[in-house]
A and B are shown apart, each in its own frame.
Chain A
Amino acid sequence: MRVVIAKPGLDGHDRGAKVITRVLRDGGHEVIYTGIRKTPEQIINILIDEDATALGISSLSGAHEVLIPKICDKMRTVGLSDVVVFAGGIIPEKDHESLHSSGVRAIFGPGTHSESIINFLIEVSERQKRGEPTGVGEDTGWHWD
Chain B
Amino acid sequence: MALGLTTNSHQLDLAISGDRRCLAKILTKIESGFVPIMEVQNPWTLGVTGPPGAGKSTLIGNLISEWIKRGEKVAVLAVDPSSPKSGGALLADRIRMQGEESSNSVFIRSIASRNHPGGLSLFIGHMVNVLCACGWTRIIIETVGSGQSQTRIVAFADRILLVEGPDRGDIIQAEKAGILELADIVVVNKSDISSSKLAFNSLNSSLTLNHDSSISTHLVSALNGNGVENLLSSIEECPKSSQREIIRQRERLLSIWDSRLLNYPGLNHILEQLSTGSITLEEAADEID
Chains A and B belong together in one complex: yes
Interface residues of chain A, those whose CB is within 8 Å of chain B, are 2, 21-22, 24-35, 38-39, 41-42, 45-46, 48-51, 78-79
Instruction: With CB as the reference atom, state the residue of chain A lying closest to B26.
Output: A51
- Closest A residue by C-beta to B103: A45
- Expressed in whole angstroms, the Cα–Cα distance for A32 and B78 within the complex equals 11
A-B contact pairs, 29 of them (CB 8 A): A2-B28, A21-B92, A25-B86, A25-B88, A25-B89, A28-B87, A30-B82, A30-B112, A31-B89, A31-B90, A32-B91, A32-B92, A32-B94, A33-B95, A34-B95, A35-B92, A35-B98, A38-B101, A41-B102, A42-B101, A45-B102, A46-B101, A48-B21, A48-B24, A49-B24, A49-B107, A49-B108, A50-B109, A79-B21
Docked-complex contact A33 and B20, CB < 8 angstroms: no
B91 touches A30 (CB 8 A): yes
The smallest beta-carbon distance between A11 and chain B, in angstroms, is 15
Please state if A49 and B88 are interface contacts (CB–CB under 8 Å).
no
Is B27 part of the binding interface, using a Cβ–Cβ cutoff of 8 Å? yes
A95 and B247 alpha carbons, distance in the complex (Å)? 60
What chain A residues lie within 8 Å of B85 (beta carbons)? 26
How far is B27's CA from A99's CA once the two chains are assembled, in angstroms?
A: 32
Verify if B10 is at the interface (C-beta below 8 Å from A): no
Knowing A31-B88, A33-B91, A42-B101 are in contact, say whether A49-B20 is a contact too (CB < 8 A): yes
Judging by beta carbons under 8 Å apart, are A29 and B101 in contact? Answer: no
Main secondary structure of the interface of A (DSSP, over half): mixed
B208 CB to closest chain A CB, in angstroms? 40
Q: Is the CB of B98 within 8 A of A30?
A: no
Instruction: Give Cα A42–Cα B101 distance, bound, in whole angstroms.
Output: 6
Q: Are A51 and B91 in contact (CB under 8 A)?
A: no
Would B94 and A34 count as touching, CB distance under 8 A?
yes
Size class of the contact patch on chain B: 20 to 34
A50, B110: Cβ atoms closer than 8 Å: yes
Is B249 part of the binding interface, using a Cβ–Cβ cutoff of 8 Å? no
Residues of B within 8 A of A21 (CB): 90, 92
- Complex A-B, nearest 6 residue pairs according to Cβ-Cβ distance, in ascending order: A35-B95, A25-B88, A51-B24, A42-B101, A28-B88, A51-B28
Please indicate the chain A residues that have their CB under 8 angstroms from the CB of B90 in the complex. Answer: 21-22, 25, 31, 33
Closest residue of B by beta carbon distance from A52? B24
Chain B residues contacting A41 (CB-CB under 8 Å) are 102
Kindly identify, within residues 160 to 193 of chain B, every residue whose CB is under 8 Å from any CB belonging to chain A. none
Apart from A42-B101, A50-B24, 19 more pairs, CB < 8 Å? A25-B83, A25-B86, A25-B88, A25-B89, A27-B86, A28-B88, A30-B88, A30-B91, A31-B90, A32-B94, A33-B91, A35-B98, A45-B101, A45-B102, A48-B24, A49-B107, A49-B109, A50-B110, A79-B21
Q: Does B25 contact A (CB under 8 A)?
A: yes
Most chain A CB within a 10 A radius of its CB, from B24, B88, B95, B98: B88
Interfacial chain B residues near A48, Cβ < 8 Å:
20-21, 24
Q: A49-B24, A51-B24 are in contact. Are A39 and B102 (CB under 8 A)?
A: yes
A27 proximity list for chain B (CB < 8 A): 86, 88
A22 to B70, CA, bound (A): 38
